[in-house]
Amino acid sequence: MKKVYGAYLCTGCGIGNVLDVDGLKDAASDAGIAMNDHSCLCGADGRAFIEKDIAEKGVNTIVVCACSPRVMQHEFYFGEQTITVRGNLREHVAWTAGEAKEDGSVDDFLQEMGADYVRLAVTRAQKTEIPVPYKMESISKKILVMGGGIAGLTAAKEAANAGYEVTLVEKDSQLGGKALGWRKMFPTAYPYSALENPNIQQMIADVQANNKISVKTGCEVARIGGSPGQFNVTLKSAGETTEWDAPAKVSAELNDLITKGEAEDPNKGLQKYTSLNPDGLMFGAVVLATGWKPADVSQYEHLGYGTLANVVTNAEFEKLAKNGKVPARVAFVQSPGGKDHDKDFPYCNSVTSMVALKQANYVVEDNPVDGMAYILYQHMRTPGNTELFYKGMQAKDGVFMTKAAVTKVAAAGNGLTVDVEDNLLGENLQIEVDMVVLAAGMVPTTATESVINLAYRQGPAFLDLDLFDGYADSHFICFPYETRRTGVYNCGGVRKAETMEETIDDATGAALKAIQCIESANRGVSVHPRSGDQTYPDFFFSRCTQCKRCTEECPFGALDDDEKGTPLPNPTRCRRCGTCMGACPERIINFADYSIDMIGSMVKAIEVPDDDEDKLRIVVFVCENDAYPAIDMSGMHRNKINRLVRFIPVRCLGSMNMVWIKDAMSSGIDGALLLGCKYGDDYQCHFVKGSEIATKRMENIGETLGSLGLEPERCGVREIAISDYDKIPAILDEFVEEIIAMGPNPFKGF
Ligand code: SF4
Ligand code: SF4
C-alpha cells in the first residue's frame, strides 16, 4: 500500500490548555508528516475533519494525537484498509500536568514530553504496515470434547445447541463420570437448605439424543497434532499404548519445503503439515473436561488412611452413601492437623467444605435416632449462597462442628477414636466414631496424567505444570477456560475444584471459547487476549541461525521446528504476544504493525538533549496489558508523571528485544525501565511468562552494559498490577532518582 499520511492534533480535553499547539505541529512536520489541529477530534465534526482528507486526499495512514488508544476506538476507526496510530497526549501528558499556567505560558519539560509523543506516534505510523490475515485453506468447525462427566456433557450440549458438531470422547465405558456415584448434589435454589437429586441421567440422555453429538466411550485421545481450525486427532481404545512417530515425519517434510524456500509462507507449511495425517479426525477446537482425582492422603500416617479399616476419603464415603446406609457416628477430618494446624489437605477448597456438610447430612438422615456427624476443620469455606446451607447444617441436630486439629486416629474395638486439640471448646477431646472421612482434595487430571497428548515441539503436555500446581490455565484470574495451548479450553474439575452448578457454568464458558477460537481462526485473527489481531509473526528464515530460542520460549507452543532447528510456525496456535520476537538474537521475527525496527526507531525518535544535565531521558517500555492501562488510570486521577520519562508500549515484556535497550543507550538515553506484570506464583502476565522472561533477559543485558562501562542499574524492571495505578508516579520517580544519582549516560553525544 502506498501510504498517504494525515496527522491530527486534538486540542480538547485540556491538551491545548497546557501545550503549545504550534510546537507540537512543528514536531510532527519535522518527523515527516504535516499535522492539523481540531478542538474536538472525537466529535462528529472532528471525525468529519479527518474523513474529508480520506475522501479528498486519499489519506490512508492516520496519526491521531489526542487521548489514549484505549478509549474512543470506534470514533477513530476508519476501516481495515486504513492504518490509524494514536499518540497519547491526554492521559500521558496533559492530564499529568496540573493546572494550566495563568499567564498561558507552557512548561518546557511538559512541551518536550508532548513533542516526543507526537514524534513517537509519527514514527510508529511510518513503520506500520497493513496486516494480511492468515487464512487457512480449509477449516474444521467440529469441536472435540474430552471427558464425559458433567463438564464434558454440558460443553458438548452447549456447543451442539449453538450449531456446532461435537465428538465427545470418554475413556470409561459409560458417560456420566464421577457424578454417577453421587447420592445428592448441593442445593442450587433458595433457601439453599435441601440437597438435590443429581440430574446426571437426564444430562446423559440429552447428549445421546442430540444428533450433532457423536459419543465415543471406551476411547481416548492418542495424539493431537495441527493447530486451531485444523487439529488433527488420532483416537485409541482406552488403555491402549500407541507409538507415534509423526512429528519426525512432519519435520522432514517441512524441512524439504523450507529448503525449497516455500515454508516462509506459513500457509504452505501448515497445509503440508496437516495433510500428513489425512486419516485423523479434524477438529477446530478442543474442550478439555477430563476432571479430577482425589488427592493422596496416605502420607498423613497419624490419620490412618490405608492402615486402619473405616478410615476413608470423602470420595469413597460418597460411594458408600450412594449404595446404602452410612454409619451412625462419623468424624469428617478437613485438615491434616499435626504441627502446622492452619494447613489444609492439598487441593482442598470450598467444595471439600461443602462435601463434608453434605455428607454429614447423610449421617443424620440415615440415622435419625443416634446419628452424630463431627466436622473438624481449620477452614470452613462456604461462599455465596452456600453460606445458607452451612447455617442450616450448623443448626441441625446430630451435627457438631468445630475448628480443631486432629492429632491421632486409632482403632478402638470395632470403631475408631479421634484425638482433637485446639478446638473451640478449649479442651482436648477424644471422640469415638464408627468411621473417619478425610477431605481429600480435587487434583486436576492434568497434574498426574498426560491427558492431552499434543504432537507439539514443546512436548505432549502443558508447559510448567509444576509451577502452577498442575493446572493448565494461561491466566487463572482474567482468562477463564483458556489454557497455555491455544484452541484447548478447560472446564470442570480439571480447571478448578468446583460444584456441579459451577461446572455447568464453566463448561458453557469453555464451549463458547472453543466456538470463538474456531471463528477467529476462520477469520484469520487472534483469539483472546489480542482478540481480532490480524497480525502474526513473520520469520525471515534465510537469516535464521536455528538457535531455537523462539521455539523454546513461546509460552503457547506455537512453533514446531525441523531436525535442524528451523522454526515451523503454526499461526493459529499463536497468541501474538511477540515473545519469539523478543527472543530472536537475529531480529528476524516481526509483525506487520510491531517490529524490531519500529520500536527501535521510536526509541531513536525521542529527542535527547545532550547539553543539559537537568534533562535526562528515561524510556519506559510499558506492557500494554496491565501497565499501560494503569498509567492511563493514573492520568485520569491527575497524578503527576515524572517529566523525564517517555513511555513506549510493548505487546508484552516478553516481546522486549534487548537490541532496544542497546538502541536507547547508544542514542544517549540515560535509563531504561521495563514496566510489566507480576510473575512467579501469583503471576498476572497475560502471556504467562513474558515478564519473567524479560527479567532474565535484562539480567543478561545488565552484564553487557557493565562490560561497556555503563552501570547495569541504568536498566531495570518493575512489576505493576492494573489496580496499582496510584503507585506509578512513585515507582517512576524512584527509578529516575537512581538515574539522576548516576548522572548522564556517558555515551550521550557520541
Ligand atoms: S511467542 Fe507469542 S507471538 Fe511468538 S509464536 Fe509464540 S504465541 Fe506467537
Ligand atoms: S530465535 Fe531467531 S534465529 Fe533463533 S531459531 Fe528462532 S528465528 Fe531462528
pLDDT tens, residue by residue, 452-465:
889 999 988 887 77
Backbone angles phi, psi at 311, to 5 degrees: -105, 115
Burial class (CB in 10 A: 0-12, 13-18, 19+), 188: middle
258 found inside a domain:
yes
Which residue, by CA, sits nearest to atom 4 of ligand 1?
Answer: 580
Angle between helices 728-742 and 627-636 (to 10 degrees): 100
Cβ contacts of 128 within 8 Å, gap of 6 or more:
61, 83, 85, 592, 593, 598
619 CA distance to ligand 1 centroid (A)?
Answer: 25
700 found inside a domain:
yes
128 CA distance to ligand 2 centroid (A)?
Answer: 22
Pick from 645, 677, 669, 672: nearest CA to 658: 672
CATH number at residue 39: 3.40.50
382 found inside a domain:
yes
DSSP category for residue 164:
-
266 and 186 together in one domain: yes
Q: Could you give the 3-state DSSP secondary structure of residue 615?
A: coil
Backbone angles phi, psi at 168, to 5 degrees: -105, 120
The whole-angstrom separation of Cα 116 and Cα 494 is 49
| pTM for the whole structure | 0.91
121 and 147 together in one domain: no
> What are the residue ranges in the chain where pLDDT is below 50?
244-250, 258-259, 261, 263-278
Backbone angles phi, psi at 34, to 5 degrees: -70, 140
429 and 353 together in one domain: yes
Task: Return the best residue to mutate from 530, 559, 595 for the ligand 1 pocket (most ligand atoms within 8 A of CB).
Answer: 559
Which residue, by CA, sits nearest to atom 8 of ligand 1?
Answer: 574
Domain boundary among 102, 130, 158: 130
> Hey, what long-range contacts does 583-587 have (CB within 8 A, 24 or more apart)?
583/549, 583/550, 583/552, 583/553, 583/657, 583/693, 584/549, 584/550, 584/657, 585/545, 585/547, 585/549, 586/543, 586/544, 586/545, 586/547, 587/657, 587/659
How do strand 35-38 and strand 311-313 relate by DSSP bridges?
unpaired
Task: Return the best residue to mutate from 258, 536, 589, 596 for the ligand 2 pocket (most ligand atoms within 8 A of CB).
Answer: 589
Q: How far is CA 384 from CA 171, 189, 364, 502, 688, in A?
A: 34, 12, 25, 12, 30
How do strand 559-561 and strand 567-569 relate by DSSP bridges?
antiparallel
720 and 708 together in one domain: yes
Residues with CB under 6 A from ligand 1: 537, 554, 556, 558-559, 574-580
255 and 368 together in one domain: no
Phi-psi region of 743 (alpha: psi -120 to 50; beta: other; left: phi over 0): left
478 CA distance to ligand 2 centroid (A)?
Answer: 31
Q: Which three cell numbers stand for residue 625?
A: 496489558
- Name the residue range of residue 111's domain: 1-130
110 and 250 together in one domain: no
Domain boundary among 130, 159, 174: 130
324 found inside a domain:
yes
Q: How far is CA 333 from CA 90, 322, 438, in A?
A: 58, 20, 5
Shortest-distance atom of ligand 2 to CA 543: 3
154 and 74 together in one domain: no
Q: Which three cell numbers stand for residue 341?
A: 494446624
Shortest-distance atom of ligand 1 to CA 579: 1
288 CA distance to ligand 1 centroid (A)?
Answer: 22
598 CA distance to ligand 2 centroid (A)?
Answer: 19
Cβ contacts of 741 within 8 Å, gap of 6 or more:
none
Pick from 472, 437, 420, 435: nearest CA to 353: 437
DSSP category for residue 7:
E
DSSP category for residue 96:
G
Are 187 and 195 contacting, i.e. CB atoms less than 8 angstroms apart? yes
Which residue, by CA, sits nearest to atom 1 of ligand 2?
Answer: 584
492 found inside a domain:
yes
228 CA distance to ligand 1 centroid (A)?
Answer: 14
542 CA distance to ligand 2 centroid (A)?
Answer: 10
329 and 261 together in one domain: no
561 found inside a domain:
no
Q: What is the tens place of the pLDDT at every residue in 71-114?
A: 999 999 999 999 999 999 999 999 998 777 778 888 999 999 99
> Hey, what long-range contacts does 14-17 have (CB within 8 A, 24 or more apart)?
14/90, 14/94, 14/95, 14/97, 14/100, 15/66, 15/89, 15/90, 15/93, 15/94, 17/94, 17/100
289 CA distance to ligand 1 centroid (A)?
Answer: 26
138 CA distance to ligand 1 centroid (A)?
Answer: 22
Shortest-distance atom of ligand 1 to CA 559: 5
The whole-angstrom separation of Cα 71 and Cα 203 is 44
Domain boundary among 475, 508, 523: 523
CATH number at residue 245: 3.50.50.60
Say which ligand is closest to the CA of 567. 2
- List 262's β-bridge partners, or say none: none
281 and 372 together in one domain: no
pLDDT of residue 246: 44
Shortest-distance atom of ligand 1 to CA 654: 1
Q: Which three cell numbers stand for residue 110?
A: 511538559
147 and 280 together in one domain: yes
21 and 84 together in one domain: yes
Q: What's the domain count of the chain? A: 4
pLDDT of residue 273: 42
538 found inside a domain:
no
User: DSSP string spanning 190-212?
Assistant: TT--S-B---HHHHHHHHHH-TT
Strand order in 166-170's β-sheet?
213-217, 166-170, 143-146, 285-288, 488-490
Shortest-distance atom of ligand 2 to CA 559: 6
257 and 355 together in one domain: no
64 found inside a domain:
yes
